[in-house]
């Protein structure tokens, strides 16, 4: 058996490894720089709560749209030119009423209908929120500044990979006659998650 104890093994430098990875991308026609830029653009400029706000304002002002939205959220938002990733198979819209309050969470991780209501806030991903929102929802909402009357029913919805939720807030009473554009400006990401009411 040959003595290999003196075989000299060279270790590639970081630069060489980066070059090798870059070459592998190039060989396959992949462009990570462009992908990252495209992703940044999507996240910062297209996945924004203003999308959901438009949906809410439309539902407040167009009763037929509201019904379509409640029946099939994914199809209804498409009418407004909005899109959802393929794996977000269902968008379930939860309508608040004067006596029912809906709130969403993702007990496993941080899923939201992010192309509609925007990317989840940091607190949404915290174990604290994910674990307590379900069991102590009234207390958690109160801690977050939403003190609901004891008689108001709270419904907590746990997001899954393929079913995403958004809350349809109650339209504020003093907004009669407002345009959709003006109404949309009232709607916040928090109100579509259900940790605030308008």
Site residues (vs Fe ion, CB under 5 A)? 106, 109-111
Catalytic residue, from 111, 115, 137, 191: name it. Answer: 111
Nearest distance in Å: CB 139, Fe ion: 22
Q: Is 22 left (phi over 0), alpha (psi -120 to 50) or beta?
A: alpha
Here the tokens at position 30 are 């992949």
Q: Is 111 a catalytic residue?
A: yes
Token couple for 168: 């349809």
Q: How far is the CB of 164 from Fe ion (least distance, A)?
A: 10
Distance CA 82, CA 60 (A): 18
Residue 106 a catalytic site member: yes
Query: Longest Cα pair distance anywhere in the chain, in angstroms?
Result: 91
Q: Which is nearer to Fe ion, 106 or 167 (CB)?
A: 106
Which is closer to Fe ion, CB of 119 or CB of 152?
Answer: 119
Q: What's the min distance (Å) between Cβ of 86 and Fe ion?
A: 17
Angstrom distance (rounded) from CA 28 to CA 21: 11
105 in catalytic set: no
Considering the candidates 5, 13, 105, 110, report the single residue annotated as catalytic.
110
Active-site amino acid positions: 106, 109-111
């Amino acid at each position: 058996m040959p003595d290999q104890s003196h075989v000299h093994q060279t270790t590639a430098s970081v630069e060489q490894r980066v070059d090798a990875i870059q070459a592998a991308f190039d060989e396959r026609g992949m462009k990570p720089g462009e992908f990252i830029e495209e992703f940044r653009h999507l996240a910062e400029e297209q996945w924004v709560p203003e999308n959901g706000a438009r949906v809410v304002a439309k539902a407040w002002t167009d009763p037929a749209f509201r019904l379509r939205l409640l029946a099939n959220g994914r199809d209804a938002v498409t009418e407004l030119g909005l899109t959802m990733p393929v794996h977000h198979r269902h968008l379930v819209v939860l309508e608040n009423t004067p006596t029912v309050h809906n709130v969403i969470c993702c007990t496993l991780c941080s899923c939201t209908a992010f192309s509609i209501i925007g990317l989840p806030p940091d607190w949404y991903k915290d174990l604290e929120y994910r674990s307590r929102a379900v069991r102590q929802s009234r207390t958690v909402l109160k801690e977050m500044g939403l003190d609901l009357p004891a008689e108001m029913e709270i419904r907590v919805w746990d997001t899954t990979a393929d079913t995403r939720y958004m809350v349809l807030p109650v339209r504020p009473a003093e907004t009669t006659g407002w345009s959709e554009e003006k109404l949309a400006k009232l709607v916040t990401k928090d109100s579509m998650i259900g940790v605030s009411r308008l």
